[in-house]
Structure 1
Amino acid sequence: MPTATQLLAAALGLTAGTFLLRLSGPLLRARINFPQRAEKLLEASDIVLLTAMVVVTALTEGTGAAGVARPAGVLLGGLLAWRKAPFLVVVLSAATAAAVLRLIGVE
């Protein structure tokens, strides 16, 4: 079992490492030139990663499928977000849709 001092040292080390890693981006950006194609791929990568996270979270639960209610709620939320609805409306609508489907017995 680690001691409080070890935990504090680990937390401080991770904090410093995270800070230095985040600081390196702006400092090195002026010195490194990427090809135009690589820049476009890097710009799209965050959207691809977020989409993959949403799909995995929406469609799976544990080691199996999530059923119908959760993906239906996510789909409704995605449609509302695409139609530029306010964030609160998107979240509450998605949660309500999933809850209503579960309430009427659709898992």
Structure 2
Amino acid sequence: MSASVAVILALAVGTYAFRLVGPVLHGRVVLSARVQELLSAGAVVLLVALLATGALTEGGGFAGWARPAGVLVGGVLAWRRAPFVVVVLGAAAAAALLRAVVPGSA
């Protein structure tokens, strides 16, 4: 067995074990309200960080203004509880319009 296959199998087993821990320990471990609050805040921070890096960077540099504008439009539409299709199409249209109108915004 090559080292690559061993690493892939180890990661697969680890991922499965990590996912299995939640249902197995549900009800056995009681978290305080403060810990639950911190876990919720941590999840939000991680999602915002992922959104920011995906929206603002490409290949280690700035992605241009079209992508952040599209993400902003999509975020506003989602916040206003627009249907998912409208959110996606609105974000794509805003990014495409900005790329077409403003030179160098890609």
TM tier, shorter chain?
A: 0.7 to 0.9
Alignment deviations for residues 30-79 of structure 1 (CA, whole Å, 9 cap, x no partner): 22222211111112322221111111211222222222111111110000
SS across alignment from 1:31? coil
Between stretches 86-95 and 57-66, larger displacement belongs to 57-66
Q: What's 1:23 paired with?
A: 20
Regions of 4+ moved over 3 Å: 5-13
CA RMSD of aligned residues (A): 1.9
Q: 1:69 aligns with which of 66, 71, 90?
A: 66
Unaligned runs of 5+ in 2: none
The percent identity for this pair of structures is 52
In structure 1, C-alpha distance between the alignment counterparts of 2:104 and 2:73, rounded to whole Å: 16
The 1-side partners of 2:97 and 2:8 are apart by 43
Aligned residues: 103
Q: Give the TM-score normalised by structure 2.
A: 0.81
Which of the numbers 49, 52, 58 marks the counterpart of 1:52? 49
Shift of 1:8: 5.0
Structure 1 letter corresponding to 2:52: V
| Partner of residue 35 from structure 1, selected from 21, 32, 35 | 32
CA distance in 2, matches of 1:56, 1:98: 17
